[in-house]
Amino acid sequence: MGQGRFRRIFLCPNEDIRDYQGMSGLQQAIATIGQVIHFFLLLIGLRHQRFRRCITFYLYLLVSFISSIVISYLVSEKELRRQLYYLKEFLLDLIKIGMLIELNRNIFVFFPKVQRSNRALFGITGILFVVYAFALPAESKTWWGSLPFDLHSKVLQTTCLAYLMMVFSALYYRIEVATDYKFLLVGYLFSQLPVALGFAYVAIAGEAARNTVSLLNSLFFVLAMVVWTRVYWANDKDTDSPDIIGRGVDLPVSFRAPE
């Protein structure tokens, strides 16, 4: 297996598909760690059917792992590999949006008012995305300015904004959040925010910044997977009991924390 293909599988999943001339020792180490942890996450997600806590999250892990293997091992034609890469990323974008909706429902199950306000905020984010996409279109046909990659970067940035809105709503209303959901959100933002900011930086600095940003994004993604192990690898009693970060604003009396 060539080093270029190995790197495409386990480094930043949002990275552009192209040929590489080799990997540094640090990149090789990150790739190996990423391979092990990603596969480990898929296995422990089956433990006691913990994937049911957030099905879309497990689907995100599964699709990202399998699609990367298919692109790197089973497809040799460069242009087809690029097209499959774009298809993979847009599929993952849809899964992330589905995960946003599922988490909003699961986390705020006893808070219908907060659920509705979050859905309104998500709608506003969608409108901002449309304005963002039309107001700042791709400016050239370079690897960064390609329409699919430019659109994907904008989807990622606005999706991160929607996730931040949901997190801030939990903090603002001092909502009780279960341990696994808390670590899921922390890991997601820990992996996706650096990628979104990296896209924005490379769009300004140009391709010269690409390798450094790619390495940092990859490192953050691996660290996020370490955080995600806590989503599945937890004691049953700990996973089912919420971490209290405050009292509910619209809980029935029987569900409120004591005064």
Residue 212 to residue 220: CA distance in whole angstroms: 13
Q: What are the residues facing 78 on neighbouring strands?
A: none
Helix, strand, or coil here: 109? coil
Work out the pLDDT band at 81, boundaries 50, 70, 90: confident
Query: In this predicted model, what pLDDT tens digit does every residue of 211-256 receive, in sequence order?
Result: 777 788 888 989 999 999 999 986 544 444 444 333 444 444 333 4
Residue 78 to residue 62: CA distance in whole angstroms: 24
Residues ≥6 apart with Cβ < 8 Å to 236? 48
Stretch 164-186: mean pLDDT: 94
Containing domain of residue 244, as a range? 3-255
DSSP class of residue 23 equals -
Q: What's the length of the chain?
A: 259
Q: How many domains does the chain have?
A: 1
If we measure between CA atoms, which residue out of 89, 87, 96, 76 comes closest to residue 15? 89
Cα distances from 223 to residues 84, 92, 182, 188, in angstroms, run: 26, 19, 16, 10
Return the structure tokens found at 209.
């910044």
Query: In this predicted model, what pLDDT tens digit does every residue of 18-76 receive, in sequence order?
Result: 333 344 667 667 877 888 899 999 999 998 889 999 999 999 999 999 988 888 778 77
Count of other CB atoms within 10 angstroms of residue 223: 17
Return the structure tokens found at 83.
């097209």
Query: In this predicted model, what pLDDT tens digit does every residue of 96-112 receive, in sequence order?
Result: 999 999 999 999 999 99
